[in-house]
Structure 1
Amino acid sequence: MLSAGSEAAQGLDGYLETYERLGTRHVVLKARDVSTTFGFKVANELVADFINSHGPRFIGFAGVDPYQADAVAEFDHAVNRLGLRGLNLQCFELKMAPDDARLFPLYEKAIELDVPVNIHCGINFSTHTPMSLGKPEYLDNVMVRYPELRAIASPPGWPWVQELIGAAWRHPNLYIGVLAVRPRLLAKAHSGYEPLLQYGRTILKHKMIFGSAFPMMPVDTAVAEVNSLDLGDEVRKLWLHDNAARFLGLESANEAVR
């Protein structure tokens, strides 16, 4: 699975060409609504319009503002009317922990709609919101309450990587997104990310999902770095394809996700 991206200077044509060149079948585009806390919004309609214009390669996740009374209705509209296929919650930008009760109706709606939820996990670099909101223990609480929820923790939990591994090991429907991190760091001693490679090749190999997280780094670079990891062909296919296909609920396992 690739989060949206290409070199900004290339413009739209270069952005689209990148995915053609890499043979990418699907790219996840995420809306975001942090209007109440930061006055910023990437509208669901904007994401849906892009997908409608550029074809089925692109899959959209909705963004809603949980401080607003119509958040659940907006999420439902984004899925049932706009055709988006998941929910994006950047909890540190919402200034809410993932287990905040105000998010429970959204989790319940995601279960009802049978769509997955992306939840930010790990450090954030905004000094206007606590770093602690990214702790994996809050995701563990969510999954205890909603074991049927399909959720992905991304980025992958630094500096609480071990705790995230424990949570993903405990909960069958909790995945780990390898994005917003240089993939090569997973093989670098003392980076703090090494356990992701150790467990991601073994007991958690069915839980790891790659994403480029552009514009933090060029898509080509992210793909090259994950391909350079000592994963083996079977595990590499899981990270780049099978796990994402299962998480996204794609109709055919042959719909490759990179």
Structure 2
Amino acid sequence: MTTSSDTADLVIPDLIVIGSGIAGLAAAQAAMSAGMSVMVIDKGRRIGGRVSTRRAHGFTFNHGAQFMTARSPEFVSLSTAAIQDHALAEWHVANRDALCGTPTMRDFPVYMQRGLDVRQGIEITDIGREHDHIILTDKDGQTHMARHLIVSAPAPQSQRLLADVAPNLSALAGSASYAPCWTGMYGFADAPPPHDPAPVGDDAGPVGFALWEADRPGAPAANHALTVQAAPGWSQQ
């Protein structure tokens, strides 16, 4: 039994989405467009999930996902609007037509959160049911209630969260496999020498993706930062 004293939210939303990455934000926006009240909860400090950007010592590094592709009609529509609003830019990279956030990758999830109730820094540790509601408990003992739930967290987290309330979905999440990726972030006082602005890398070698950050569409030229992501095989060693 929960009471108002230990429940974090007195207004119960129609839907809670766990995870403020691209998938979670897209689901939340779709639900809100359908007339549902929505809350997004994420354990991280910042929005975006794997689409992440870090600033350090005056440099900016896009150290998560390097680009995105749009395939579904819904995501194509969202991406088109984001391009018009200068939150995304088209980028032909790695032999494909892709998209990158502008001026940083994280600017796209920030764009996607518009109008949503997004709460960062809340780690859900348990999911249960009570009558017609779903009860979420966070690591501080607070509970959050909703009528519906979407879990868009990474598969290992989803597996743990769904183990009791949805064992079949938990097993499906447990079947997902992940490849490791070591990332190096390097800042330089001087601009790089003349070079091909295209990223370099080969998953068969040690470097999977390396790019001067200033070579991204819409990125500031004064950011003399280099991001290097190791290939999965090398990272696994």
TM-score tier (shorter)? under 0.3
TM-score if structure 1 supplies the norm length? 0.23
TM-score if structure 2 supplies the norm length? 0.24
Comparing both chains, which one has the higher relative contact order based on Cα–Cα distances under 8 Å and sequence gaps of 6 or more? 2
State the structure with more CA Rg: 2
Structure (1 or 2) with the greater helix fraction? 1
Structure (1 or 2) with the greater strand fraction? 2
